[in-house]
Structure formats: C-alpha cells, structure tokens
Amino acid sequence: MKDKVIELVTIYAGNESDVEAIIRELAVYRSVYIQRMLHYAFVDIGYSEPEVDWSAYNGKPLFTNGEMSQAILDSSSKRRGHLTEIFAVFLSDCRNLKWLVDKIPEKELRLWRKCLISGVVSEMEVRKALDITGSSEVFIDKTRFSWLYPTPRSIQQFRWSWRKTKSKLEFVIDGLLRPYLLAVLYPEAADFCKLDTLPDNLRVFSDVGGSLKAMSDYDALVAARMFDSGSVHVTLPVIRRVSAGVGLKEFFANDKESKYYANARGRIVVNLMMELFLTESGVSMSPAERCRYVVGHIGSVVPDFVRRALMPQLKGKFANSPFDSMASEMAYRIMRMIARHSEPEKWIESKGFIDYFRMLYGVYGDNLLVDNYSFDRSSMYVRSGVKSGGEHYIALDEKFEYLIVPMIQGVVFMLAAVGAVEVAFVERDAVSCSPFCGLMYWRITELGRFILGITNRYEHTVEIRSVNDFLLDDRYLLVTLANPDTSMRGILDRFARPVSANRYAVTAETFLRNCKDSGDIDRTISLIRNFVCPEPPDNWIEFFSRIRRQACAVAVDDTDYEVFVIDREDKELQQYLAMSPEMREIAICAQGFRVLVELGNLPRFKELLRDKGYLL
C-alpha cells in the first residue's frame, strides 16, 4: 500500500515542490475525522460493501475494491493507516474531492454548506434534516455519526448539565477539512479583490535588489563577526549594525513614536540570517537561494522568531507553551495560501484575504495559533510600543483579532523583507499594536515565486559596491582603505592586521588564523574577490596559490603505528635500527630516540630484535 501512496504522489505532483507541499498537507490532514468521513462516504451510503467506480478518475486506479473493502471494514487492519494516507493525498486535489462530495446525498450537503458559512449548526437542525430521533448520545458516539461532530465545549455543557432539559449540542466540520470542502462547495469564496492598479494615498514598499544584496553581503557580515553573540537571539545593537552594514531600507521612518516601527525590517532580516549562521548553511547558495532557505526554515533554530520579529507587541508566559511551534506551522500555512492565490501583477487585498482565511477555518481558526488550554495558561496581552501606551489582556473571543490577523500581516511583511512581495500600506496605530496593521495590499514578485516554490529558477545579478572601498598594493600584501567610512571595514579583521589607521597587512599567519581546513582558505579567497577586489594583482594571485599549495604540504598519516623508545647509551642498537636494510623496511627512526613500527610489521620487528639479543 505504501508503494501506491508514492504512485499517487507522482501522478498528482507536477514538480518536486508540489510533492513537498502534498506531504506537508498530508501530515496535517491525517486525523480521526478524515477516517470517519471516508467510512461514512464509502460504507454508510446505502451499500453493504464499499464499491467505487474508479473510471471517473484521470489517474490510474490506486487499489482494487477488494483491497479497499478489507482495509476499511477490518478496523484492526494495520493497512488502514496506509489507506487513510492514500485518501489524504488524493483528497488534496480539489477535483478528486469534488468527485467524492458528489456521492454524498443532497440533504447532507445542505448541512455541510450551512456549516461552512455559519461555522456551526445546531442539534435541532441536524435532527430535522436527517430525521434522527433519540438521545443526544447518538451524536457523541463517533462510530455511528461520522461526518459532522459536536464541539467539545457543547459536549461538556451537555454532560455537566443538571437540569431536566439538557443543553443541546453544536456541530462543526473538522477545521482541517474545511479548506478542501470550501474550495469545492463555494469556489467563488476565493475570488477576493485583486487589483491591477492601487488606489491613491498608499505607501508602497518594494526592495528586491536590497534583499538580494543583504543576502550576498552575509559572508562579509560573518567574516566581521557580526553574529558571534553566543546566543540564538540577536540584540538591537546587532540589528542596527547589520542593517547599516548592508544598507537595509526600512519599512517605516525611524522617527515614529512606537518603538515597534523602528528597525522593523532589520529585526526580520537579521533574525532570518541567524538561521544561516547557526546552521552554517548557505555557503554555496546564491542570494536568492539563501532567501528561499531562510523563509523555508523559520523557527528551526530561532524558535521564537514569530514573536520576536513578526509580533513584537505580544507578551505573556510562553515557557513550556506550544505557541512558538504552532506559530511556525501557522506561518507556513499562510505562505502556502499566499502562493496558491497570488497572481503576477495582481495586488491582493489584505482584508479580503483575511476574511477568506477566517471562512476557510471557521471557529477552528481561532485555535490554529494556540489552543484554549495553552491560551489560558499563557496570560497573553499586547503592549503598546508608545511610552505613554498601556497593555491589553486578550480575551478568549478576541484571539482572531489580536493573534491571527497580526500574524497574517506579519508574515506578509516578512515576505516583503526578503523581496518576495511588494506591500502597499498606510501608517496607523491599531488596537492590536502591531507595526504591520496598516497593510492594505500586496503583490508577489518573481523572486517571491521562486521563494514560495511556484517556480524553481531565478536569475539575478547583484552589484557589490564595497569593491570600490579598498585598494590592493601590486608589490606588497597591503590593503588600503579608499573609503575609511565603509561599513565593510570589519571583514579585513578576518585575514589582515592593521599597520596604520587606513592600511592593513596580510601575511600567511593573518590569512590562516581563522582557517581550519582548505575549505576555509577557499572561502576567504572568495571573500576577498567578492567584497575587496574582484581581480587581485599578480602578487596576490601568487600568494593565494602558495597558501593553497602549502595547505596540502602537510597531511595526516592514517597509518597505525606503535612507538618505541630506545636506550640512549646503546650505540650498537641505534646503528642497527638506522643502517640495517631489513630494519629500514619496517621501522622509522624519529627524533628523541624513538622508533615507529606499523602494527602489521610488529611481529617481524620483534623477531629481528630477538635475533640480535634484544627482547621486546
């Protein structure tokens, strides 16, 4: 059955990135509710045994009816998990889910439609539509009622009610199933506002070139030890130094009253760069590939990236809370939606996108970032970035407004920080205190299509201006600062030493002091070519060749030797070890009256010594 899953992924995946996306969806989608839905769809609709006509599919049949019948009807079958995985991948294609939904009777579909729009349906509506009688326990028994399910809160109220007339249940569709059903039953819901031209009086931020330059300057920043803080977290001074070093253009003016506006882009980009630094990744990547890598690994090394960079206004008790891991998964979910609905040259309305997101997940959407239990323990609140501002503790019914909406806005600005989208916004202070609350529209860029996996190729040349700030002497290994105020001055500390205010000397010692292997030598030479001088003089080329050659002059001997110390006074033994042809073949004389013998030659060495009267 596992082979059939792979076959299915191959059929419905257009490229490698689609396969990864399907697998991610599969991991989220696998749950007891999808099993119940499949059981209902294929077993309970008027058939004693599930019989499915696969001729409606364009792809190959995944398994025979006999295999499916055995796996579904035998609840103890170990293969049932594989079957569920097959359907989960299969249903990630909207066309296939539509075929399945068309098999559901119309009276059930009417309830599905209403539940998708209103979020919940009452027990009375379910009873009336399906003509069900009896106790409410029939709905709580999940083995009998398998497509809508009562909310845990309404079950608790029902069971803890001491009145004769118990409270009624409320039903919802599984939140992870909603996006698929909404796409089938209400495809027009995704038609939110997309514009060719922007309205007036909006600020537009677009800096693809600056994002690529920042990632190309990363090597120089590492050489200047910008990130050697000893922690996964970056401090405000580091953010300011890195931003100034790469000339990072900010979203907002730094004279804003709220502290969250200052260095907002730098806070995002530098925290993303820490992913490269701490994992020692990106050495051989292009600037665009580095942008793609850091966006695809948010939270992997800096676990609280979302709170630090995208939601700085959010405070609370987050120790031992799943918030950070759920926030990272939430960010990936939002980015997949952006990739799915973005069109080249089209501006996406932020409000319409957020409304669609809320419709997709319904009441379940409030728990995507943090469940109610963790929310109660975290005591979350938002703090104003203004000195005279206050704090607001978030209520349970305010989770979407204070958590989900700022999260979506923060992810869009994160993509803008790396050049993946252009954003149009107004500067305003919102109740949520988020610096990104003014987002109105965004538009995906060609770099963004590459970062989000829509395309697999991106070509762009980055101009490095720091090469004009340095002069290399053509007679001596000296570097002169043509621009003493250059932000790249710190990279000279990696391979040179200062001899005057604006002059540095390079020697073999200074060049190798930060090198551990030949790879470090090549990286240092590339650093000089990329940021100091693209075409060094001949004396520098000769110096690089000599350093590379000398790096291979001394190598590690992997041979296993036994070391022996001989008597300093025994001249006859010394002469025998040094001059005897048979000994010179198996023993090596070293300084300090020591002899090295390979382990394989040790028996022969002992035998020769014994013949001369020496016992080892």
The pLDDT score that the predictor gives to residue 558 is 79
Sign of torsion, CA 220 224 227 228? positive
- Helix (H) / strand (E) containing 101: helix 94-101
pLDDT band at 141 (very low <50, low <70, confident <90, very high): low
The pLDDT score that the predictor gives to residue 490 is 74
pTM beyond 0.85: the answer is no
Helices (H), 386-517: 399, 405-417, 446-451, 508-512
CB 460, CB 447: distance < 8 Å: yes
**Residues 218, 270: Cα–Cα separation, whole Å:** 10
Distances (CA, A) of 60 to 12, 23, 64, 93, 219: 11, 20, 11, 15, 49
**Residues 80, 86: Cα–Cα separation, whole Å:** 10
**Residues 33, 286: Cα–Cα separation, whole Å:** 43
- Helix (H) / strand (E) containing 598: strand 594-598
Would you call 485 exposed, middle or buried from its count of C-beta atoms within 10 A (0-12, 13-18, 19+)? exposed
pLDDT band at 462 (very low <50, low <70, confident <90, very high): low
Q: Over 90: is that where the pLDDT of 326 sits?
A: no
pLDDT band at 50 (very low <50, low <70, confident <90, very high): very low
**3-class SS at 194?**
strand
CB 424, CB 202: distance < 8 Å: yes
Structure tokens, 244: 């100034």
Q: Over 90: is that where the pLDDT of 158 sits?
A: no
- Sheet of 381-383: strand order equals 314-315, 381-383, 391-393
Number of H helices, E strands in the chain: 29, 18
pLDDT, averaged across the chain: 75
**Lowest mean pLDDT segment, chosen from 71-85, 151-165, 371-385:** 71-85
Q: Which residues pair with 421 in a beta bridge?
A: 444
**Residues 233, 277: Cα–Cα separation, whole Å:** 12
CB 419, CB 213: distance < 8 Å: no
**Lowest mean pLDDT segment, chosen from 47-61, 380-394, 474-488:** 47-61
Q: Over 80: is that where the pLDDT of 345 sits?
A: yes
**Residues 592, 583: Cα–Cα separation, whole Å:** 18
Mutual angle of helices 350-361 and 405-417, in 10-degree steps: 130
pLDDT band at 360 (very low <50, low <70, confident <90, very high): confident
pLDDT band at 90 (very low <50, low <70, confident <90, very high): low
Q: Per residue in 468-483, pLDDT tens?
A: 788 888 888 999 888 8
Overall average pLDDT of the 169-177 stretch: 74
CB 219, CB 374: distance < 8 Å: no
**Residues 491, 224: Cα–Cα separation, whole Å:** 5
